[in-house]
Structure 1
Amino acid sequence: MFEVSMIVCAGLLCGALNAIAGGGTFVTLPVLVWLGIPPVVANATATTMAVPGYFASVWAYRHDIRAEGTLPLGSIFVVAAIGGVLGAALLVVTSPDAFLALVPWLLLTATLLFASAPRLQRLSEASGIGIRSAGVAAIVLLLVATYGGYFNGGLGIIMLAALSLQGYRNLHGMNGLKSLLASILSTLSVVTFMTADLIAWESAIPMALANICGAYITSRFVRRIERIDILRLVIVVIGGAMTVAFFVA
C-alpha cells in the first residue's frame, strides 16, 4: 500500500508540476528508483508514464502548431522519430550500474537547464541568433531527440531552445510543437523499451493515470497562480535536492 501511495502521489505531483512549469521528472524518476526499481527500468517507466501528458498538451495547442523555422514540419517529425529510437536503443544497451552513475549528472543537467530556461529564452529572442542551415538544424534536433529518447528529464527545455535557434518565436506554437515532437520520440522510445521488456507496467499505469489527473486538476487553476517564478524556484530546489541525494547515495 505504501508503494502504491508513493507512485500515485508522484504521478499527481508530476502532472501538477508539468501543467504549470515542468520538472515532473525530478519527482518520478527518484521515486521509482527509491522504490527498488532498477535505474534503467525506472527511467523507461518514467518516460512511459509521461507520454499521455504530452498528447494532452498537443491537443491543447493543436491550433497553434505551424512551421516557422529552418526545417519543414515533415522533416522535423522524421528527425525526432529517428532520435527517439536512437536514444532508446542507447538506453537499452546501457548497464544498470553505468546508468545509475549517470543519473545524478543527468538530473544536474536538467536542473541547470530548467533554472536558466527563462534567461536563455530571452537572450535567444533578443539576439536574433538562428540556425540558417537546414543540415545543421537537423543535426541539432537529432541530438536533442536522442537525448530525449535516452533521458526525458529537461527535454522540453532543450527542445524549446532548439526551436528558438531555428527561428521559432511564437511561444504557443513552440510549446505545441515541442509537445508533439516529445510525443513522437517518446512513443517510439516506449515501443523500443517494450521490445526490451524495460517497463515496470505495475508502476507505469497507476503513475500515468495519476499524472493525467494531476495535470487536469492543476490546469483548471493554473491561471490563478500569479508568481510562476516562485514555483519555478521551488522546482529547481526539488531538482537540486534530488541531484544531491543521488550524488551522495
Structure 2
Amino acid sequence: MFEILLALLAGIAAGALNAVGGGGTFVALPALVALGLTPVTANALSRIALVPGALAGAWVCRREIGPVGPTSMRELTAVSVVGGGVGAGLLLVLPASSFDAAAPWLLAFATVVLAFGRRVSQALSDRLGRSVALSSRALLTGQFFIAVYGGYFGGAVGVMMLALWGIGLGLDSAAGNPMRIAQLAAIFASATVLFLVASDALSAPLLLGAMLVGAVAGGYGGAHLARRLPAPLLRGVLLTTAVTTTVLYFLRG
C-alpha cells in the first residue's frame, strides 16, 4: 500500500507540474526508481502514466490553443508525434546502460534549462528583435528535435518549446502555455504507443495504475491552478523540485 500511495502522490505532483510549467519527469522518474524499477522501465512507465494528465490539461486549455507563428496546430502536432516516436524508439533500441549513465546528466541539463532557459530566451529575443522570426520549416525542424528529446527523456521539454517559440517568434510564455500542454500530450502519447508494445512498463500494473490516476487529477487541477497562482511562485516550486531530485539522483549513482 505504501508503494501504491507513493506512486499516486508522485503522479499527482508530476501531472500538476506538467500543467503549470513542465517538469513532471523530475518527480515521476526518481519516485519509480526509488520503488525499485530500473531507470529505463521507470522512464517508460512514467511517460505512459503522464499522458492522461497531459490530455486532461490540454482539455482544460482547449479553447486557448492556437497556431504558433506561421505554423498550424496540425503541422506542429504531426511533427511532435513523429519526433516523440523517434525518441521513444531510441530509448528502446539503445543499451539500457546508456540511459542509466545519461539519466543524471539529463536531469542536470533539464534543471539548467529550467533555471536559465527563460532568461536566455528573453535576452536573445531582445537582442535579435521581435521582427526576426523563424520560418515555418525552421520552426518545425526545431520542434522535431525537441520532440525527439521529449520521447527519449522529457525533462523540461515544455520549457524548451517555450524557449524556441519565444526566441524564434517572440511568443509570450503565457500565450504559448496552452499549446505547450497540447504538444506535451502529443509527444508523450506517441512515445506511449511504443512503450506499451515494446517495453516492460506493464510489468508493474499497480504502480502504473496509481500514477495514472494521480497524473489525471494533477493535470486537471494543475491546469486550473496555473491560471490563479503567481508565475514566480510556480517557477520557484518547479526549480526547487528539479534541483532536489537532480542532486538526489547524482548521490544515488
Cα 1:124/1:242, change in 2 over 3 Å? same
For residue 31 of structure 1, report the CA deviation from its aligned partner. Answer: 0.8
For residue 108 of structure 1, report the CA deviation from its aligned partner. Answer: 0.7
Which residue number corresponds to residue 239 of structure 1?
A: 242
**One-letter identity of the residue aligned with 2:103:** V
Distance 2:110 2:24 in 1: 11
For residue 244 of structure 1, report the CA deviation from its aligned partner. Answer: 2.0
**Mapping for residues 154-193 of structure 1, pairs under 5 Å:** 154-167=156-169, 169=171, 171-193=173-195
Matched, 1:152 2:154: yes
| Deviations, residues 10-49 of structure 1 (Å, cap 9, x unaligned) | 1122233334343222111001011111111100111111
**Count of aligned positions:** 248
Which residue number corresponds to residue 207 of structure 2?
A: 203
Q: CA RMSD in A?
A: 2.4
Query: Comparing 73-82 with 149-158, which one deviates more in the overlay?
Result: 73-82
Which residue number corresponds to residue 135 of structure 2?
A: 133
Distance 1:199 1:72 in 2: 34
Which residue number corresponds to residue 119 of structure 1?
A: 119
Contact 1:70 / 1:167 at 8 angstroms: preserved in 2?
Answer: no
For residue 104 of structure 1, report the CA deviation from its aligned partner. Answer: 0.6
Contact 1:131 / 1:137 at 8 angstroms: preserved in 2?
Answer: no
Distance 1:23 1:153 in 2: 6
> What secondary structure does 1:7 align onto?
helix
| Deviations, residues 99-140 of structure 1 (Å, cap 9, x unaligned) | 111111111111111112432343355332744333322221
| Deviations, residues 191-239 of structure 1 (Å, cap 9, x unaligned) | 011110332433222112112223444556556544x424423432332
Which residue number corresponds to residue 145 of structure 2?
A: 143
TM-score (norm 1): 0.88
| Deviations, residues 127-178 of structure 1 (Å, cap 9, x unaligned) | 3274433332222111011111111211110111222244262545422222
Gapped regions of structure 1 (runs ≥ 5)? none
Matched, 1:47 2:47: yes
Distance 1:223 1:81 in 2: 27
Cα 1:46/1:130, change in 2 over 3 Å? farther
Matched, 1:6 2:9: no
Matched, 1:30 2:30: yes
Query: Comparing 151-160 with 167-176, which one deviates more in the overlay?
Result: 167-176
TM-score (norm 2): 0.86
